[in-house]
Structure 1
Amino acid sequence: MAITGKPLAATAGAMIFSKGGNAVDAACAMLASTCTMWDVLSWGGETQALIYNPKTKKVIAINAMGVAPTGATVDFFKSKGYNFPPEYGPLAATTPGTPGGICYMLANYGTMSLAQVLAPAMQLAAGYPIEAQTANSIEKYKDSIKQWAYSKKIFLTHTGEKREAPEAGEIFVQKDLLQTLTKMVEAERMALKKGKTRKDAIMAAFDRFYKGDIAQEFVRGSKEQGGLITMQDLAKWKPVEEEPLKVNYKGIDVYKLQQWTQGPMLLQSLNILENFDLKSMGYNSPKYIHTIYQTMSLAFADRDFYYGDPRFPPAEPIKGLLSKDYAKQRASLITFDKNNPGIGPGDPYPFEGKTNPFVQLLKSRGFEPDTSKRNFAPTHDLRNTLGMTEYHEKLWMGTTSVEAADKEGWVVSITPSGGWLPACIAGNTGVGMSQRMQSFVLDSTLNPFNVVEPGKRPRVTLTPTMALKDGKPYLSFAVQGGDTQDQNLLQFFLNVAEFGMTVQQATEAANINTNQLWLSLGGMKNDDRKPRPGNILLHINTPEAIRNELQKMGYIMTFEDRTSGPINAIYFDWKHGSFWGGSSNNGEDYGIGW
């Protein structure tokens, strides 16, 4: 089973399977292809993955998130008048993670060569018929793209004409990117000729990207345009294999990446929801919607204050945050008569035998409800589509996701991102730089765990998921859409686990989205990012009776016909020995199974 954000990229995964590759090989090929096709990400972005290893029967986590570069300090950004690191351009860039993530996953858990796995992406870089979605996005952002000479050279194929972007169906050629990928494959080939192992040869390609001539051109191009990334930053960076976090929900083990992502928010939500009889409430009844909303608001309040890179002090109270007893305490705060607009972070420290060092800071914050208007949609998610609200556009766009599974039992779930349009290209590499720096904070009173610092990973929204039941894969799933990702994944999971939907039904089912959280992307002022308590997105077909009940509870409702980014998922049918693939109808995402 091969599922991802573009039909051609899913085909790349299918091609790898047809040549004998495993799910890791196929996932790497799909990831490389989506980066090449600018599926709201580029090669200079970041990769987060969960992999089920059938040999060890364990889920492992791959952290291929880039880090803040040398010189990326609070004082530096504040000296430029920023309240958050910028959304676009060289100063928005963490070190690239996706090339290293692909090499690491392939070398350690794949079976094929880098040359084989990159072949589809290299064919796409040589030229493919660009889709209207991407082509129109380039046209929309052409004024921003013109700021950066290397971006202008690649994207604006009709400079000076009324439409400067490629047209839909035009063969879009990326010579510089093709040269970069060719250099990586050449490094592998040379290493093999010298008698190196498959793994060492792949890591020779890794070294050429992060320490060799590719790195030199990347750094030169970044610095020329005002960026901070140094050769030392690239040479020191490497992917990290982690122990994933997990909770058990009614006999199902649900796995997430660590607290440098928002993933534990879903785990906290499941712990809270375990205290309620959701099935008896009824799918998307007023009481069910209210319970989900309140639960997510509680979990997001903790996410917004307590999550950050665990490799840097202070240490996040993750054991307390994921405690079942802490969840019971949080669940007890939910009342069923109205929305609570004043929800703030809890105190998980006692649940791991510690005293909260931030009690005074929390008291000083007060967590008064704020109803100031802000744009929820990260501006990179906005598209030039007439008649669509910004929020609607957000739910269509985002990053992408990759799901793969094979007959041997390998399962892969990836949520990669970064380097979206309008991307700043790093010199003549053809590689679009990440924009993930904006997920840091500069004000420690907002989140003392996520303050920018060189070498640190920002707390990101990117969050693949995997679930095991009876020790075997049960579900593998991911979605695009910034802060809505774990909201939609939570409801997808409950649709299957509580309401017995098929995986395809669950990907297409109507969700709710809360806006009662701090925005992780977009907005350069605190007021741009503050929560909007009680703001809820509902499906346009929500019955009048349910709307009336929610209005009485104090909710401020908006309605759309799409209430989720495209969810991609695989369900493992052990009774029949088959896979069920699901890909929602909310984007171009596509799956191929056989």
Structure 2
Amino acid sequence: MTSSRSSSRRRRLPLAVLAALLALGQAAPAAAADRITGKPFATRSEVYAPHAIAATSHPLATQIALDVMKRGGNAVDAAIAANAALGLMEPTGSGIGGDLFAIVWDPKTAKLYGYNGSGRSPKALSLAEFRKRGLSDIPPHGPLPVTVPGAVDGWFALHERFGRQSMADNLAPTIRYAREGHPVHEVIAYYWNASVPRLSKWPGFKEQFTIDGRAPRTGEMWKNPNLAATLEQIAQGGRDAFYKGQIARTIDAYFKANDGFLRYEDLAAHRGEWVEPVSTNYRGFDVWELPPNGQGIAALQILNLLEPYDLKSYGFGSPEHVHLFAEAKKLAFADRARWYADPAFAQLPVEQLISKRYAEQRRKLISMDKAAREAQPATPKELDEGDTIYLTVADADGMMVSLIQSNYRGMGSGMAAPGLGFIFQDRGEQFVLKEGHPNSFAPGKRPFHTIIPAFVTKNGKPWLSFGVMGGAMQPQGHVQILLNMIDFGMNLQEAGDAPRIQHDGSTEPAGQAVAMSDGGELDLETGYPYETVRELMRKGHSVRFAHGPYGGYQAIMVNPNGGYVGASESRKDGQAAGY
């Protein structure tokens, strides 16, 4: 999904128009206002199912996941099958040219397992090369931001440990859709059309991802026989068909011919890794994220900062709710910019950053009356004291999968090797081109990552598998879903449909990492009272209205009465369904 640094798809409106829109929507989104259930923010009902459930950003991918489980596959098989389908059906946010992260609840061991499937930078590319080219930031498109794709490795690692049916069976539905075609959905068509002008100049993109130079339209059939052939090779030859076989050699030749640095040796050397999820307890709920190089612990830091405040009494949409959220986010993101990086290249104080004691120190910086214009990261002394798809699947045996996968910036770098049918990610853009920073570019290094799956347990048992994709919105979205459910009493669907907050402008862990000095900007989705907006402005917040940057949500909750509850993002094309 698009980074928060990209504003090409956001439309800003003047304050007078903002006031009118917010006034119209101050009770609830118009689409939900007439529902009779008493859930003002829910655009539709939660989905209940007794045996299994899947929630993805595409209805056909959801149905594929359910079909896999009906045929005897488990939640991991279903998640892999759905992810493969989304790479075909939603190439605006995913594909085998990107990376993957996952959290799995295994009912046999009653334990969570985390997988970091992020790829590394090319070993032949150096910081000096960027300087030689006069670059202060890594460009968003083309060959330079490309890193090793980790998704296929992630599939096979998950499958080897937990899978039940063959990988050939898991990939078969997508191979069939790629050959026979499928109709493109509305939101996907919108983003696809926005990407084509930016990416068509890169070799292989126009030939493989347009119809006569344009994006496919809503409802138009789309086929990708090249991807079908690539997936068939993977189904027959396993992960090595991608990382060590003819696919890898085609990739090597393509980048050598197009001013790129990704090589066969980079692919052959790649392995993701199993990692221990980390957590904090928020009002009796254990919230789990993966440690860096991702940004998941930012959600834990924000929750720790907010926990002492009586948000329930303030109420959803109150000035206090929005203000405290924004101020906690600023503090957590200051640490995110300073500390989150590849742990193989830097010592990261993760346990200190997510500790309650550290949050207690940092909370002293929050004023109830005034918005902070800048936020400094923690010092070592303080610490010593102390564009993307998301899917989730749960099966009849109690296994639950929280999986996120992305090419970054929508359709990625634009680089598409001939005959392979996928686009390479541009995740390397997230490196800093400055020596001494933990996230500074280095050969063979994993960049800072935005994509994060989440999971929640209560009393040692699974409660919620969920995610909110969308660049820097992701940890902000994780926190808002939990506040909506735990503090404001919303159900699973309502928690996702309620109007969202995005604070933008914090110091970033990429580029030149310029420090925030103006307090950033606060995006409020339609549905917040104008009285709240006015009070936020009095506190010094810069409030604006934006279309689009609020992320995409999918969730599955364990039903205490048996089975599962599912919810899907109303802002996307997705579906939650079960049986």
Is this a same-fold pair by TM over 0.5? yes
Deviations 1:338-395 (A, max 9, x none): 10112111225444469xxxxxxxxxxxxxxxxxxxxxxxxxxxxxxxxxxxxxxxxx
Matched, 1:171 2:221: yes
Deviation larger for 141-150 or 76-85: 141-150
Report the counterpart of residue 86 of structure 1 in structure 2: 139
- Offset from partner CA, 1:226-275 (integer Å, 9 cap, x none): 21111111111112001111112222111111121110001111111122
Whole-angstrom CA distance in 2 between matches of 1:270 and 1:111: 36
Which of residues 253, 258, 263 is equivalent to 1:230? 263
Aligned counterpart in structure 2 of residue 441 of structure 1, from 413, 432, 442: 432
1:184 counterpart = 2:184: no
Measure how far apart 1:213 and its partner are.
1.2
C-alpha separation in 2, matches of 1:343 and 1:460:
21
Q: CA deviation at 1:185?
A: 1.9
Contact 1:250 1:274 in 2 (8 A): yes
Cα deviation code 1:416-450 (max 9, x no counterpart): 101642621123222211110001111246xx110
Q: Secondary structure at the match of 1:302?
A: helix
In structure 2, what is the equivalent of residue 430 of structure 1? 421
Q: Structure 1 residues 327, 496: CA separation in 2 closer, same or farther (over 3 Å shift)?
A: same
Change (3 A) 1:30 1:77: same
Separation (CA, whole Å) in 1 of partners of 2:364 and 2:513: 30
CA change 1:334–1:134 in 2 (3 A) is: closer
1:281-327 CA deviation, whole Å, 9 max, x = no partner?
A: 22221112111111111000000111101111x30111221121111
> Equivalent of 2:391, from 402, 411, 420?
402
2:480 aligned partner, one-letter code:
Q
The 2-side partners of 1:494 and 1:264 are apart by: 16
**Secondary structure of the corresponding residue to residue 482 of structure 1:** coil
**Higher RCO, 1 or 2 (CA under 8 Å, sep at least 6)?**
2
SS of residue in 1 equivalent to 2:64: helix
Give the deviation of 1:145 after TM superposition: 3.6
Q: How does 1:233-244 map to 2 (within 5 A)?
A: 233-244=266-277
Structure 2 match to 1:318:
350
Q: What are the superposed Cα offsets for residues 15-35 of structure 1, whole Å, 9 maximum, x if unpaired?
A: 111111111111111111101
Letter in 2 for 1:346: A
Q: Secondary structure at the match of 2:72?
A: coil
The separation in 1 between residues aligned to 2:219 and 2:493, in whole angstroms, is 30
The one-letter amino acid paired with 1:44 is G
Among candidates 336, 343, 348, match of residue 375 of structure 2:
343
Decide whether aligned partners of structure 1 residues 525 and 410 sit closer, same or farther in structure 2, where only a CA change above 3 A counts. Answer: same
Q: Tell me how far apart the structure 2 counterparts of residues 252 and 315 of structure 1 sit (CA, whole Å).
A: 28
C-alpha contact (below 8 Å) 1:218/1:428 kept by paired residues: no
**In structure 2, C-alpha distance between the alignment counterparts of 1:137 and 1:476, rounded to whole Å:** 27
Q: Decide whether aligned partners of structure 1 residues 165 and 560 sit closer, same or farther in structure 2, where only a CA change above 3 A counts.
A: closer
Q: Which residue of 2 aligns with 1:131?
A: 185
Q: Label 1:431 to 1:531 Cα distance change in 2 as closer, same or farther (>3 A).
A: farther
- Give the alignment partner of residue 411 of structure 2, picking from 413, 418, 421: 421
Choose 69-78 or 477-486, whichever is displaced more.
Answer: 69-78
Structure 1 partner of 2:4:
none
Note if contact 1:221-1:428 (Cα within 8 Å) is conserved in structure 2.
no
The whole-number CA distance in structure 1 between the counterparts of 2:520 and 2:194 is 32
Query: Match for residue 504 of structure 1?
Result: 493
- What does residue 569 of structure 1 align with? 555
Task: With the length of structure 2 as denominator, give the TM-score of the two structures.
Answer: 0.86
1:51-70 equivalent positions in 2, closer than 5 A? 51-70=104-123
CA distance in structure 2 between the aligned counterparts of 1:588 and 1:531, rounded to whole angstroms: 37
* Contact 1:47 1:416 (C-alpha < 8 Å) held by counterparts: yes
Ranges in structure 2 where 5+ consecutive residues have no aligned partner? 1-52
Name the structure 1 match of 2:88.
36
1:279 & 1:28 partners in 2: Cα distance?
38
RMSD across aligned positions (CA) = 2.1
Q: Does 1:3 align with 2:55?
A: yes
> C-alpha distance in 2, partners of 1:350/1:520?
20
How far has the Cα of 1:542 moved from its partner?
Answer: 2.0
Bigger drift between 259-268 and 130-139 goes to: 130-139
Q: What is the rounded CA distance, in whole Å, between the counterparts of 1:141 and 1:560 in structure 2?
A: 19
- Residue of structure 1 in register with 2:202 after alignment: 148
Question: Size of the alignment, in residue pairs?
Answer: 523
- Structure 1 residues 530 and 173, CA gap change in structure 2 (3 angstroms): farther
Distance 1:53 1:532 in 2: 46
Residue 176 of structure 1 and its aligned partner are, at CA, apart by: 1.7
The whole-number CA distance in structure 2 between the counterparts of 1:222 and 1:170 is 32
Q: Supply the distance in 1 between the matched residues of 2:433 and 2:446 (Cα, whole angstroms).
A: 14
User: Does 1:412 pair with 2:401?
Assistant: yes
Cα distance between partner residues in 2 of 1:584 and 1:134: 14
Per-residue displacement from partner, 1:513-560 (whole Å, max 9, x unpaired)? 111413468xx7767x96751411123332222122111101111135
TM-aligned CA distance change 1:584 to 1:169, over 3 Å: closer
Residues 46-104 of structure 1 show CA distances to partners (whole Å, capped at 9, x for unaligned) of 00111111111111111111111112321111211222222111211110111111111
| Distance across 1 between alignment mates of 2:338 and 2:331 | 11
How many angstroms does 1:463 deviate by?
0.9
Q: Which moved more, 1:334-343 or 1:420-429?
A: 420-429
- The aligned residue for residue 469 of structure 1 is 458
Question: Which residue identity is paired with 1:337?
Answer: D
Structure 1 letter corresponding to 2:232: T
1:278 matched to 2:311? The reply is yes
Aligned residue for 2:35?
none
Alpha-carbon spacing, 1:343–1:148, altered in 2? closer, same or farther (3 Å) = closer
Superimposed CA distance per residue, residues 89-121 of structure 1 (whole angstroms, 9 cap, x where no aligned partner): 121111011111111111211101011100111
- Match for 1:122 among 165, 175, 181? 175
Matched position secondary structure for 2:389: coil
How many angstroms apart in 2 are the aligned matches of 1:412 and 1:516? 32
Q: Given the superposition, is the C-alpha separation of residues 332 and 564 from structure 1 closer, same or farther in structure 2, using an over 3 Å criterion? A: same
Q: Does 1:295 align with 2:295?
A: no
- Partners of 1:457 and 1:442 lie apart in 2 by 14
Structure 1 Cα separation of the partners of residues 476 and 190 of structure 2 = 29
User: Where does residue 476 of structure 2 map in the other structure?
Assistant: 487
Is the 1:450–1:459 contact (alpha carbons within 8 Å) kept by the matching residues of 2?
Answer: yes
Residue identity matched to 1:14: L
8 A Cα contact 2:432 2:512, kept in partner: no
